[in-house]
Amino acid sequence: MTLAETCESPLVTGEATPTERILNLAAYLKQRGGEGASLDDIARNVRGYDPEAARDTHGDLITAGPEWEALRRMARRDLQDLRDAWGIDTIFDDEAHRYRLRPPFFTTRERAALIAAAAAVDVEGIEGHRGQLGAGVDDAGAQVVIRVHHRVADLRDAIQTCTAVRFDHEGRTRVLQPFALGTWHSRWYVAGWDPGLDALRRYRLDRIDQHGSMERVGDPGSYGIPDWFDAVLAFDFDPNTWGRDPRLRARVRVERDHLPAFLAELGGQIVGEAAGEPVVAFEVRHYESTRNRILFFRDHVLVLGPPELVTIIHDHLVALAGAP
Amino acid sequence: MAALTKQRQFDVLRAVLGLVEERGSVPIAECAELTGIPEELLRDTLGAVLFVDFHTADGSLVSESSSFLLDEQSVVTLTASHWLRDVAAAPPPPDTALRLLVAGTTMQAIAESPTPDLDTAVMKLAGEVAVELRMPVDIPPALSTVREALDQHRSVEVRYLSDGADAPTERELLPYRLWSRWGHWYLTARDVTQREAHQFRVDRVLSAVVGTTPFDPPDNVELPEWFDLSAHARTVRVRIRADSIESLPAPHRLGRSADLGDGWAELDVTVTGDRRLDHLLLCLPPDTEIIDPPEYAERRRADAALLLERSR
């Protein structure tokens, strides 16, 4: 027999502790649903409240006097505890004099999906506390490990409150109005407006002085995140996205075995074949970075066109080969 | 033994019930260890939730007790749902919301089928965290085949292009564990011709088919915290225009820069492996002077000449 199947326990027959009373109240309000419950209903049906509180000749609770006041105070304290300790919140309907539960933040299925995610993805760098959603899950078999830089939580708070921050980054002190956080190639960055430079800037969090402090400067709400700010673009570090060189459409022949790595590095589409190998085309807006990234593939990639790009790579190699 | 305060009781119950929801069932001894209170006191404390009940207006008894059970084996079990969390209207605390948002967003990226419940949960969290998060985790084409082999406890036959290699090799691997870290998917596996397991980047698997060799994967295959590549570190000292430093190919590590004036700087640049060293040397602007080791200057010149020759 399980303990739950018996009603012999003194916990049931004896007087309810405050914790039992509060949990009983939550269960009762949950059961009442949209109909809600009056203080009278609570007093009659929730163990731990006084069902004998003063009533009129119709059996209704007398809504005045010390007994009613004590009942009301007890219910308010219990509802406060429910909110503070369990996140269970109620709405009081002034007209109907009834308490109702606020709708849940997550549905049961949403919570289950998040718990599954927490089990599959181990998020390092943000501690979970006992009892919090996803903190009790067994993530020993997690497939994915994501490291969250320790500055992320601090910057998130600054972004939420629109408070500028000051930090040392690669030997220089920067003031930033942070707009967003993001990752690129597993590195965390913060993007925002640098009033000193009067420009949008991105800073790599692991290049912020780890021993220095990150101070808040100015008042919360002292700036707004502008409409033109595009977070997706802000964390796209591909130079061919933001480069200013005249646009070229590159065509390169890539040995098939190196194609996945090439596409991962430079993107583009397969547009045909040459000498039995795929030909990839992609947009170029930053010549120097494109040249450098193509050179990583050595002679497994051959630039077919346009002539400007062929010349850029050829001239660079000639200059190096002619150097002492 | 002193009774727990009301607040402490809440904390204990929240922790235990949360754990039970997320694992299905938990021995009470583990709950006692988690909460740091003696088992007997924990049993009493749990009573508050095991015996939740109330009467409706018509006098019938309604109970939530069936949600959580404490059985004769001293195991706390969730049988229906965590009804307390079912009615929680408050969003998670900020750190928890961020942690769940990162986990949820990553899970969305790696999921192989639609995740409507996760999608709405992540949307709610994003509204709370109010921070743009991009968590790209690329899915290599070979991942599903490798996962299939892992599930079937069979080998996987791959064509694998190692970092910096010019040509792929054919291998038959016994897959032990599939995992993702630092934005890449890895396979911990043993080549059937070798005695020890190694780590393979799944995005470097050019093709994969489930093999025919059955095997029992070992238990407790641990994920490496990091790869010690220090033996492959290659450092070159250069005099370079300061505005060219930003254009050096990643990944690299920069030493302390000495300002030489007129926009020039001298510093160490470190990369991993000979292939990345050659790439770095090729990417340096022609006016960059290689200081140390001096033979790298000739290495760069010869390599550039070789590539020029091959491009003809």
Query: Tell me: the pLDDT tens digits for B91-111?
Result: 998 889 999 999 998 888 888
| Residue A5 domain flag | no
Residue bearing the bigger pLDDT, A262 or B79: A262
SS3 at position B58 = coil
List of domains in chain B:
6-53+63-86 (1.10.10.10), 94-129 (no CATH), 143-214 (2.30.30), 231-310 (no CATH)
Residue B251, preceding bond cis, omega within 30 degrees?
A: yes
Do A112 and A178 belong together in one domain? no
Which tokens is A35 given? 């109909």
Residues 138-157 of B with CB under 8 A from A: 138, 140-141
Give the best residue of B131, B135, B139 to mutate against chain A (max A CB count within 10 A). Answer: B131
| Residue A6 domain flag | no
Report H helices in chain B. Answer: 6-23, 28-35, 39-50, 83-86, 94-110, 116-129, 143-152, 274-283, 295-310
A293 contact B CB<8A: yes
Q: How far is CA A6 from CA B65, B66, B80, B101, in A?
A: 10, 11, 18, 41
Tens place of pLDDT per residue across chain A (324 aa):
333 333 333 344 457 788 989 999 999 999 898 999 999 999 888 988 887 777 777 778 787 888 888 899 999 999 999 999 999 999 999 998 999 999 999 999 999 999 999 998 988 888 778 888 988 887 777 788 888 888 888 898 898 899 999 998 877 889 999 998 888 777 889 999 999 889 999 998 988 877 777 899 988 999 999 999 988 788 877 887 778 899 999 999 999 999 999 998 899 999 999 999 999 999 999 999 999 999 999 999 999 999 999 999 999 999 999 854
CATH number at residue A254: 3.30.70
Cβ atoms of B217 and B175 closer than 8 Å: yes
CA A138 to chain centre: 21
CATH number at residue A163: 2.30.30
Give the best residue of B51, B188, B226, B306 to mutate against chain A (max A CB count within 10 A). Answer: B51
Chain B residue numbers with beta carbons less than 8 Å from the beta carbon of A258 are 161
| Residue A79 domain flag | yes
* Nearest C-alpha in A relative to B58: A45
A91 contact B CB<8A: no
CB contact (8 A) between residue A117 and residue B48: no
The amino acid that residue A238 corresponds to is D
Phi, psi torsion values for B90, nearest 5 degrees: -85, 145
**How many contacts does A have with B, using Cβ atoms within 8 A?**
345
Which tokens is A299 given? 């002679």
* Bridging pattern class, strands A199-204 and A277-284: unpaired
Domain of A182? Answer: 152-234
Residue with tokens 């090799």, as numbered in its chain: B169
CB contact (8 A) between residue B138 and residue A264: yes
A218 contact B CB<8A: no
| Residue A1 domain flag | no
> What confidence category does residue B276 fall into, taking pLDDT thresholds of 50, 70 and 90?
very high
| Residue A2 domain flag | no
Query: Which of A173, A202, A234 finishes a domain?
Result: A234
Measure CB to CB from residue B57 to each of A45, A293, A321 and give the nearest one. A45
* Nearest C-alpha in A relative to B166: A300
Domains identified in chain A, total number: 4
What are the residues facing B205 on neighbouring strands?
A: B160
Chain B residue numbers with beta carbons less than 8 Å from the beta carbon of A11 are 44, 47-48, 50-51
